[in-house]
Amino acid sequence: MENNAKFLTETALRISGVNPRKCMKCGKCSGTCPNYDAMEYHPHQFVAMVEKGQIEKLMQSKSIYLCLSCMACVERCPRGVEPGKLVEAVRLMQIRQQDKNHKGARDIPEFADESVPQQLLMAAMRKYRK
Amino acid sequence: MQKIGVFVCWCGSNIAATVDVEAVAEAVKNEPGVVFSANYQYMCSAAGQKLIQDAIHEHHLTGIVVCSCSPRMHEATFRKTAESAGLNPYMVEIANIREQCSWIHKDKEEATAKAIVLAKAAISKLRNDTPLQAGTSAVTKRCLVIGGGIAGIQTALDVADAGYEVDIVEQRPTIGGRMAQLDKTFPTLDCAACILTPKMVEASQNEKINIISYAKVEKVSGFVGSFKATIRKKARFVDETKCTGCSLCTTKCPSRKGKNEFNMNLDNRGAIYIPFAQAIPNVAVIDPEQCIKLKTGKCGLCEKVCSAGAINYKQEDELIEREYGAIVVATGFKPIDPSPLNEFGYADNADVVTSLEFERLMNAAGPTKGTLLRPSDGKHPKTIVFIQCVGSRCEENTKRGKPYCSKICCMYTAKHAMLVREKYPDTDVHVFYIDVRTPGKNFDEFYRRAAEQYGVDYIKGMVGKVAKEGDKLMVQGSDLINNEQVHIAADMVVLATAIEPDPTARSIGTMLTASMDTNDFFTEAHPKLRPVESPTAGIFLSGVAQGPKDIPETVAQAGAAASKVIGLLAKDHLVTNPCVAQSNELMCNGCSQCEKVCPYGAITYVEKEVRGPGVREVRRVAQVNPAVCQGCGACTVTCPSGAMDLKGFSNKQILAEVDAICRW
Ligand SMILES: Cc1cc2nc3c(=O)[nH]c(=O)nc-3n(C[C@H](O)[C@H](O)[C@H](O)COP(=O)(O)OP(=O)(O)OC[C@H]3O[C@@H](n4cnc5c(N)ncnc54)[C@H](O)[C@@H]3O)c2cc1C
Ligand code: SF4
Ligand code: SF4
Ligand code: SF4
Ligand code: SF4
C-alpha cells in the first residue's frame, strides 16, 4: 500500500474503531441495507475496500452521502464488524478535507454563546471528539 | 541418604535448542543426594529408557528425576521404566523443562538457568519422597448411557455385544432422539425411520440392554469403576408391563390441546399419547398437564377403553439406584430458538420454519402426512427460500448466536432443497449461503447434484429481512456474486438454525464433574488423541453432546466410546492412585472445613479415641476415603490445623521445592 493510502486507511480505522478483518464476507449487511440500490458501493464493499486500502475511491463516491446512517448493518452483522461506522468515518474524512475547516473538540467552546442550544453542543462534542 | 539419578532430555531440538542440556546435567551433579546425571536425545525412546534402567542398576539409585516434557505426557512412561528396574514408581519426579521452560523462553542462558532451578526443585522434592503403594478397586461391570438418541443406542448395542449390561436412561417417553424426527437422510437419502427403528428394536430386544425411558439421572456419586446413580423414572400413569401399544386410548382421549413435541409443536396430541408409531418402548404416556382426570378427577375414558387394564392414575415416580463401572454421555442437541433474530420473522410468521420443523412437514408420519403444505393456510408453497447459518458462526459472546459452525446444516439444506425439487418440480427453490461446507465422503458431490441436476438456485449472500406482504413472505438479501440486492416473494422460508447442546447438558456435566466448553459441549480428554473420553475417568462421550456432527460421524464416535467402555469393564480391578489425602488425627480438630471443599465427597468424620504424647481423648476427626479421593489437594490448603496432607505431594515436599527455587 502506498503511503497516502496507508495513512487514509489508518485514519478510517481509527475514527470508526472498526476491524475489517473480522468480516467473514457473508453479505448480511448488504442484504439488510435499505438504501442498497441507490449506493454505488455497498456496506460489505466498504469493509472489503477499507481492508484493501481503497479509501480514496470510497471518498469520491456519492455512496457516503446516500447511506441513511440507519445502522441496520451494524445491528445485524454476525461478526460485530459495524460497516455503517466505516461509512460514517469515510464521510467524515471527506468532509474534513474539503474545506480544511475541521474543528477539534477544544475549539468548540469559542462558538458557544447563549444562542447555541445545548443539544447541538452535545451532539457536536459526540461527533467531532474523534 | 537417597541415591538420586538425574536424566536430562533434549526432546530432539524441542528442549535442546533453547536449554543447554549438558550444562543442566553438569550443574545438578553435586546436589546433595545426586550420584549420577546424564543427558540424552529422547529419554522416552527405548534407548533412553534403557539408559535410565542401566543407571538404576549400576548406581543402586533410590529415586530418579527426569527433566523433560510435562508429566501429563510421560510421567506414566518413566514410572513404568523405574518400576521394571525394581524402583518404586512413586520415586520418580519430573521437572518440566519443555512446556514450562524451553517452549516459552527465547534466551538460551535464561532458559538454561531456569531449567537448572526446576531440576534442583525436583531433586529437593525427591529427597523427601517415600515409596507409595497403589491400591486396587473393583469394577462394576455395568454401563450407564445417558441419552437414547442414535449415539446412545449405538454405544449401548456395542457394549452389550461384548457381553456387558447397559442401562439407557432417556428423558423422553421413547428412545430415538432427533434422528427419529428426520425424514430422509443425507448423503444417501434413505428414510431415517427405516434405518433407525430396526436399531431401536434391536436395543429393546437385547437381553443385556435395559431401557429406562421418561427418566432422568438425579444423582451420581463414586468414581471410575464404581459409580452409584439415582435415576428418577417419571410416572407415565400407564403400566409398562401391561400396555400393548394398541393406541386405542390415544384416539379416544377428549383432551386435544397438548402440543405434539415429536412434530415440533406443529399439531396437537391427546393427553394420553404414544410419540410415534414405532416408539420404543411402545407404551402410552399421560401428560399430567393436559389430562382432565388428573387435573379435575373427571373423565377416565382411557381407563375404560383400555382392554389391557394398563392405565393407572395413581402411578408415582420411581427411584432406581444402581451401580455402574462406566458412564456414557449421549445427551445430543436441540435446534436454537431463532425468535430473537427478528430479521427472519420466525416468531411472527407461521410459514417461517426451522429445518427440523421442515423435516416433520416432509415426513409421511408428520402433521401433513408428508404433503408439503405451509402451516399458515395449508397451501402448497411454490417458492421456498432456505437460509443457511442462522445463528451459527457469530462473533463470540454476542446475542447474534453461536460462535461455531453447526456442521450439519449445509448438508441437510442441500437435502431439503433436492427433496423438494424431486417431489414438486414446479417449486422454485433458493438457498442463501455464506459458504457451502460439505467435506465428507460423497458430500460435495451431493451438494453439486442439488445445484446441477435439481436446479436449486444457490445464492452467495445473506438475508437481511423477511417481511410479510399479503400472503407472501418478502425476502430481501444480498447476492454477492451478482453484486445486487435481491427481493424474492416466497411462500415459505426455512431457517437452517444452529444447534446447541440439550438444555440439561450443563447439569449433567456438573453432576459428573465432567468438563464442558463455553458452549456447553462436553470436552474430550485430548482433542486429537482421546476424542471419546472425558478428562474425568470413567466418563465417555458419544454423539452431538461432544460437538456438532452428522449421523455417520455420530455412529463412528458411539462405537469408539463403546470400545473404551469395554476396555474398562473388561478389567476386574483398577489400580488406584496412591497420591490421596490423609489426615493426621493428632492435629485434626474436627472443624469440618475440609469436608465442605472436597468436590468428590471423600471426607467423613468419626468420633474416635485419639492417642498421642500427652493426649488421650475421644474426638471428632476427619477421615478420607482413599477410593473416592482424587488427590486434588483442596482439603490440604483449607485445613487450618495443617492436619491434612496429600501423599506424594505433602506440605514438606512442596515446601522443599519452593525452598530450592528461592535459594536461586
Ligand atoms: C434438521 C436436521 C436434519 C438432519 N439431517 C441429517 C441427515 O440427513 N443425515 C445425517 O447424517 N444427519 C442429519 N442430522 C443430524 C442428526 O440429527 C444428528 O447427527 C443425530 O441426531 C445425533 O444423535 P445424538 O444421539 O448425538 O443426539 P440426539 O439425536 O439429540 O439424541 C440425544 C438423546 O438424548 C436424550 N437426552 C438429552 N439429555 C438427556 C438427559 N439429561 N437425560 C436423559 N436423556 C437425555 C434426548 O432426549 C435424545 O433422545 C440432521 C439434524 C437436523 C437438526
Ligand atoms: S455483515 Fe458483517 S461479516 Fe457479513 S459481510 Fe457485512 S461486515 Fe462482513
Ligand atoms: S447504515 Fe448505511 S450502509 Fe448501513 S444499512 Fe443503513 S443505509 Fe445501509
Ligand atoms: S383420563 Fe386423561 S388421558 Fe385419559 S382420556 Fe381422559 S383426559 Fe385423556
Ligand atoms: S454447516 Fe453450513 S449452514 Fe451450518 S453453520 Fe456451518 S457453514 Fe453455516
The CATH number that domain B4-127 falls under is 3.40.50
- Rounded Cα distance between B293 and B299, Å, is 5
Same domain, A57 and A10: yes
Please check whether residue A17 touches B, CB under 8 A: no
Closest chain B C-alpha to A91 CA, distance in angstroms: 22
Q: Buried b / exposed e across B589-598, counting CB within 10 Å, b at 16+?
A: ebbebbbeeb
H helix intervals, B297-453:
301-305, 355-362, 409-423, 443-452
pLDDT value of residue A128 = 61
Give me the residues of B, 339-368, that contact A with CB < 8 A.
343
Q: Are B488 and A52 in contact (CB under 8 A)?
A: no
Atom 5, ligand 3: which residue's CA is nearest?
A33
| Cβ contact, residue pair A27, B343, below 8 Å | no
A72 chain-B contacts, CB cut-off 8 A:
464
- Are domains B142-231+317-332+502-569 and B334-500 of this chain identical in fold? yes
Is pLDDT at B126 greater than 90 in this prediction? yes
**Domains identified in chain A, total number:** 2
Residues A28 and A46 in one domain: yes
Beta pairing, strands B142-146 & B165-169: parallel
Given CATH 3.50.50.60, say whether it is the number of domain B334-500.
Answer: yes
Q: What pLDDT is stored for residue A96 in this prediction?
A: 85
Written as one string, the DSSP assignment of B611-651 is EETTEEEEEEEEEE-TTT-----HHHHH-TTS-EEETTS-H
On chain B, the residues whose CB falls within 8 A of the CB of A27 are 434, 460-462, 477-480
Q: What is d(CA A67, CA A30) in angstroms, rounded to the nearest whole number?
A: 12
Whether residue A83 is found in the same domain as residue A121: no
Q: Atom 6 of ligand 3 has which residue's CA nearest to it?
A: A70
Question: Do A17 and A40 fall within a single domain?
Answer: yes
Asked if residues B647 and B129 have their Cβ atoms less than 8 Å apart, the reply is no
Nearest to B120 by CA among B16, B27, B44, B11: B27
pLDDT tens per residue across span B577-636: 899 999 999 999 899 999 999 887 889 999 989 888 888 889 999 999 887 788 999 999
Contact yes or no for A76 and B401 at CB 8 A: no
CB B392 within 8 A of CB B404: yes
Q: Are residues A34 and A95 in the same domain?
A: yes
User: B434 — contact with chain A (CB < 8 Å)?
Assistant: yes
What's the pTM value of the predicted model, to 2 decimals?
0.87
CA–CA distance, B588 with B609 (Å, rounded to integer): 12
Same domain, A112 and A124: yes
Q: Does the beta carbon of B393 lie under 8 angstroms from any beta carbon of chain A?
A: yes
Q: Please name the residue of chain A whose CA is at the shortest distance from the CA of residue B391.
A: A78
Chain-wide mean pLDDT for chain B? 96
C-beta of residue B373 within 8 angstroms of C-beta of residue B380: yes
Contacts of A33 in chain B (CB under 8 A): 464, 485
Ligand 5, pocket-test mutation among B341, B392, B394, B413, most atoms within 8 A of CB? B392
CATH of the domain at A44: 1.10.1060.10
A22 and chain B in contact, CB less than 8 A: yes
Provide the residue range defining the domain that includes A78: 3-99
- Quote the ipTM score: 0.83
Looking from the CA of residue A35, the nearest atom of ligand 3 is 7
Spatial distance between the Cα atoms of B471 and B153, rounded to a whole number of angstroms:
44
How deeply is B304 buried, as exposed, middle or buried, from its count of CB atoms within 10 A (0-12, 13-18, 19+)? Answer: exposed
Residues A26 and A11 occupy one common structural domain: yes
Task: State which H helix or E strand residue A15 sits in.
Answer: helix A3-16
DSSP string covering B188-247, please?
TTEEHHHHHHHHHHHHHH-TTEEEE-SEEEEEEEEETTEEEEEEEE---SB-TTT-----
pLDDT 10s digits, B265-318: 999 999 999 999 999 999 999 999 999 999 999 999 999 999 999 999 999 999
Within this chain, do residues A58 and A74 fall inside the same structural domain, yes or no? Answer: yes
Q: Is the CB of A77 under 6 A from ligand 2?
A: yes
Same domain flag for A60 and A10? yes
Q: Which single residue is written with the C-alpha cell 527405548?
A: B46
A111 has a pLDDT exceeding 80:
no
- Asked whether B509 lines ligand 1 (CB < 6 A), one says no
Which of A28, A47, A49, A74 would best serve as a mutation to test chain B binding (most B beta carbons within 10 A)? A28
pLDDT of residue B557: 98
Residues of chain A contacting B485 with CB distance shorter than 8 Å: 30-31, 33, 36-37, 42
- What is the distance between the alpha carbons of residues B590 and B594, in angstroms, rounded to a whole number? 9
Q: Residues lining ligand 4, CB < 6 A?
A: B 253-255, 270-272, 286, 291-293, 299-302
Is the CB of residue A91 less than 8 Å away from at least one CB of chain B? no
Q: What is the mean pLDDT of residues B444-463?
A: 98
For B456-508, the pLDDT digits (tens) are 999 999 999 999 999 999 999 999 999 999 999 999 999 999 999 999 999 99
Nearest ligand (C-alpha, residue B295) = 4
The pLDDT, as a whole number, for residue B546 is 98
Nearest to A44 among B389, B400, B480 (CB): B480
Residue nearest atom 8 in ligand 3 by C-alpha distance: A33
Q: What percent of chain B has pLDDT over 90?
A: 93
Q: CA of A111 to nearest chain B CA: how many angstroms apart?
A: 41
* A98 residue type, one letter: Q
Q: Which of B155, B183, B213, B550 to mutate for ligand 1's pocket (most ligand atoms within 8 Å of CB)?
A: B550
The confidence band for A1, taking pLDDT boundaries of 50, 70 and 90, is low
Q: Which of A25, A31, A78 sits opposite B477 (nearest CB)?
A: A31
The DSSP annotation for B171-184 comes to SSSSS-GGGGG-SE
How many Cβ atoms are within 10 Å of B154's Cβ, its own excluded? 25
Instruction: Kindly report, residue by residue over A68-110, the tens digit of the pLDDT.
Output: 999 999 999 999 999 999 999 999 999 888 776 666 777 777 7
Q: Please check whether the domain covering B142-231+317-332+502-569 is classified as CATH 3.40.190.10.
A: no
Check whether A130 has a pLDDT greater than 60. no
Q: What is the pLDDT of residue A129?
A: 63
- Please state the domain extents for chain B: 4-127, 142-231+317-332+502-569, 248-305, 334-500, 581-647
- How much of chain B exceeds pLDDT 70, in percent? 100
pLDDT computed for residue A109 by the predictor: 74
Alpha-carbon distance of B637 to B643, in angstroms, equals 10
Same domain flag for A76 and A57:
yes
Q: Is B25 exposed, middle or buried (0-12, 13-18, 19+ CB in 10 A)?
A: buried
Is the pLDDT at A38 greater than 70? The verdict is: yes
A-B contacts at Cβ under 8 angstroms: 70
**Domain check: are A94 and A107 in the same one?**
no
* Distance (Å, whole) CA B4 – CA B362: 73
- Which residue out of B393, B432, B437 has the highest number of ligand 5 atoms within 8 Å of its CB and is therefore the one to mutate? B437
> With contacts defined as CB-CB under 8 Å, which chain A residues touch B342?
none
Query: In CATH, what number does B581-647 get?
Result: 3.30.70.3270
Give the residue among B476, B475, B410 at the shortest CA–CA distance from B444: B410
Is A118 in the same domain as A90? no
